[in-house]
């Protein structure tokens, strides 16, 4: 394990966790993200952009 890796992903220079979007979508283009009792949809567009909607 690299010195800046953690169990949740790599940490950037500011100490923030970094997650791979393709890992979150398991190779697809959609993932659900839960925050407390709300569900959000993360979508990777054909242009490689990310869209997060409620």
28: left (phi over 0), alpha (psi -120 to 50) or beta: beta
Are the C-beta atoms of residues 25 and 31 closer than 8 Å to each other?
Answer: yes
Rg (CA), the chain: 13
pLDDT at res. 6: 42
- The pTM of this model reads 0.72
Give the residue from 53, 38, 40, 44 showing the smallest Cα distance to 21. Answer: 44
Which two tokens mark 39?
A: 């569900």
Model confidence over 13-22: pLDDT tens digits? 778 888 999 9
Residue 54 three-state SS: coil
Share of the chain above pLDDT 70, in %: 80
Share of the chain above pLDDT 90, in %: 67
């Amino acid at each position: 394990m690299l010195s800046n890796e953690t169990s949740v992903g790599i940490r950037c220079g500011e100490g923030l966790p970094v997650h791979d979007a393709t890992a979150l979508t398991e190779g697809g283009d959609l993932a659900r993200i839960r925050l407390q009792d709300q569900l959000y949809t993360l979508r990777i567009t054909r242009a490689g952009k990310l869209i997060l909607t409620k």
